[in-house]
C-alpha cells in the first residue's frame, strides 16, 4: 500500500506558470524579456526523496534578487516547485526554477503591466564520472574576469554568457573547469560553482564582494566545516593562495563538492581528492539525506 503517494513520472517534468507543459514544446513568447534581455533570475536545486534541499534558502535568495531587479514575486512560487517535485516522485532530481519579467515591448523599459514568466523544470541529476569525485577536476584560470562592480553581482541572474564562453575555453584547453579572477585580480569562483581552498589548516572561500555567488551549497559547506572543527574564513585571496593550497574544491547544488586536482600545469596537493575534501563530501551527502528525509 502506498497511501497518498504519487506515481513518479518520467523526467524531465516542466511547468510554465503553474501549468504542465510538454517537454521542448513552444511555451514561451519570443518577446519574453528573459529571452531578449536576460531579464530574470533562476535557482538550481537538488531534490531527494521528494524533498528539496534548502528550498527556503533558494527562495529567499531569489526573492532578494527580484527586489533588486524590481520584478514582482508571484505568490505561487513555492507551490509550483512543490507540485513539480511531487509529480517527479522520489527520484533524485535537479530542479531549475526560472523567473523572468515576462513579455515586453522592444527596448529596456519594462512594460507597465508586468506578468512574470515562471518555469519549473525537474530534470534527472547530471551524471558526473566517478573520476570527478575521486580524483578531481582539471581547472584553468579563465582569461576573462568576473565583474566585482556589477550592479547584479551576487545575484543569480540569467546572464550566464560569460560563464558559457569560459566553460568552452576550459574545454578547448583540455580542462573541465575554469576559475575566474574578479576585476581586481582576486579569486572569485568557477563558471557555475563556488571555490574553496584548504591551506595551513584553514578553509577559505572568496567573499561575495569578489563577485562570488552566495551559494547555498557554499553556505552548507561552511557550516559543516565549522561543525567539524575546521577553521573557516570568507577571505580575499589571490592565485598564489590557490596554487599553493593543499586542497581545492568547487561547490554547487548539482555537483555538491567536487575536488580540483590541477590548475593549468600545476598539480594541487597530491593531485587527487584531499582528506578534508573527502570528509566534507561525506558530511554533505549525509546532510542532504538528513534534511530531505532519510529513508
Among residues 73, 160, 173, 219, which is the contact residue for its own copies, using CB under 8 A? 160
Looking at 48-56, 100-108, 224-232, 243-251, which segment touches its own copies (CB under 8 A)? Answer: 100-108
Number of residues near its own copies (by CB under 8 A): 67
Sole residue written with cell 515586453: 104
Residue 126, judged by CB atoms within 10 A of its CB (0-12, 13-18, 19+), counts as exposed
Torsion of CA 56, 58, 60, 66, to 10 degrees: -150
37 binds its own copies (CB under 8 A): yes
Q: In the complex, what is the shortest distance from the CB of residue 33 to its own copies, in angstroms, rounded to a whole number?
A: 8
For residue 146, give the H/E element and its range.
strand 137-146
DSSP state of 282: H
Q: Measure CA 81 to chain center.
A: 17
Q: Measure CA 68 to chain center.
A: 19
145 binds its own copies (CB under 8 A): yes
Rounded Cα distance, 258 and 275, in Å: 13
183 binds its own copies (CB under 8 A): yes
Among residues 1, 3, 4, 106, which is the contact residue for its own copies, using CB under 8 A? 106
Q: In the complex, what is the shortest distance from the CB of residue 128 to its own copies, in angstroms, rounded to a whole number?
A: 10
126 binds its own copies (CB under 8 A): yes
Binding site for its own copies (CB under 8 A): 14, 16, 21, 23-32, 34-39, 42, 44, 68-70, 94, 96, 98, 100, 103, 105-110, 119, 121, 123, 126, 142-152, 157-169, 183, 191-192, 254
Amino acid at each position: 500500500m502506498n497511501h497518498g503517494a504519487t506515481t513518479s513520472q518520467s523526467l524531465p517534468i516542466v511547468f510554465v506558470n503553474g501549468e504542465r507543459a510538454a517537454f521542448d514544446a513552444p511555451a514561451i513568447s519570443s518577446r519574453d524579456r528573459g529571452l531578449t534581455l536576460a531579464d530574470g533570475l533562476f535557482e538550481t536545486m537538488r531534490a531527494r526523496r521528494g524533498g528539496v534541499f534548502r528550498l527556503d534558502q533558494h527562495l529567499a535568495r531569489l526573492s532578494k534578487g527580484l527586489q533588486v531587479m524590481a520584478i514582482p514575486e508571484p505568490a505561487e512560487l513555492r507551490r509550483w516547485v512543490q507540485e513539480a517535485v511531487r509529480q517527479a516522485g522520489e527520484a533524485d532530481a535537479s530542479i531549475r526554477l526560472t523567473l523572468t519579467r515576462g513579455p515586453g515591448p522592444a527596448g529596456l523599459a519594462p512594460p507597465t503591466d508586468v506578468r512574470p514568466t515562471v518555469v519549473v523544470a525537474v530534470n534527472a541529476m547530471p551524471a558526473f564520472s566517478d573520476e570527478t569525485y575521486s580524483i578531481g577536476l582539471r581547472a584553468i584560470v579563465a582569461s576573462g574576469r568576473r565583474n566585482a562592480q556589477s550592479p547584479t553581482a551576487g545575484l543569480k541572474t540569467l546572464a550566464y554568457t560569460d560563464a558559457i564562453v569560459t566553460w568552452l575555453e576550459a574545454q578547448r584547453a583540455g580542462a573541465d573547469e575554469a576559475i575566474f579572477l574578479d576585476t581586481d585580480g582576486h579569486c572569485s569562483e568557477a563558471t557555475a560553482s563556488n571555490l574553496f581552498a584548504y591551506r595551513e589548516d584553514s578553509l577559505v572561500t572568496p567573499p561575495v564582494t569578489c563577485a562570488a555567488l552566495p551559494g547555498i551549497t557554499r553556505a552548507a559547506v561552511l557550516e559543516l566545516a565549522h561543525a567539524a572543527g575546521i577553521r573557516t574564513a570568507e577571505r580575499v585571496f589571490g592565485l598564489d593562495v590557490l596554487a599553493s593550497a593543499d586542497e581545492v574544491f568547487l561547490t554547487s547544488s548539482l555537483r555538491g563538492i567536487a575536488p580540483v586536482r590541477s590548475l593549468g600545469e600545476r598539480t594541487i596537493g597530491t593531485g587527487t581528492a584531499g582528506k578534508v575534501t573527502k570528509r566534507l563530501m561525506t558530511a554533505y551527502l549525509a546532510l542532504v539525506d538528513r534534511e530531505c528525509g532519510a529513508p
